[in-house]
Amino acid sequence: MTTQQKTVKVQLVRSPIGCKEDHRATVRGLGLRKVNSTRELQDTPAVRGMINKIDYLVRIV
């Protein structure tokens, strides 16, 4: 039996320019570079916490 890893797809919808430095670091930590860039990440509590921290910059797709 194979177990499927749950994933969450995140899109950067607003520029982190002018935001706090730690929020910019969180965006980079999620692997998001430019506006409208999308990443599919594993759905872990750590990733969810990072998304919650910068919820005003990203959208769950």
**Tens digit of each residue's pLDDT (9 = 90 or more) over 30-45:** 999 999 999 999 999 9
Query: Which pTM was predicted?
Result: 0.89
pLDDT score for 10: 98
Among candidate residues 42, 44, 38, the one with its CA nearest the CA of residue 58: 38
Sequence-distant (≥ 6) Cβ neighbours of residue 43 within 8 angstroms: 5, 6, 7, 8
Residue located via tokens 């750590």: 46
Characterize the bridge pairing of strands 7-12 and 38-42: antiparallel
Q: What is the DSSP letter of 2?
A: P
H helix or E strand, kind and range, residue 22: helix 21-29
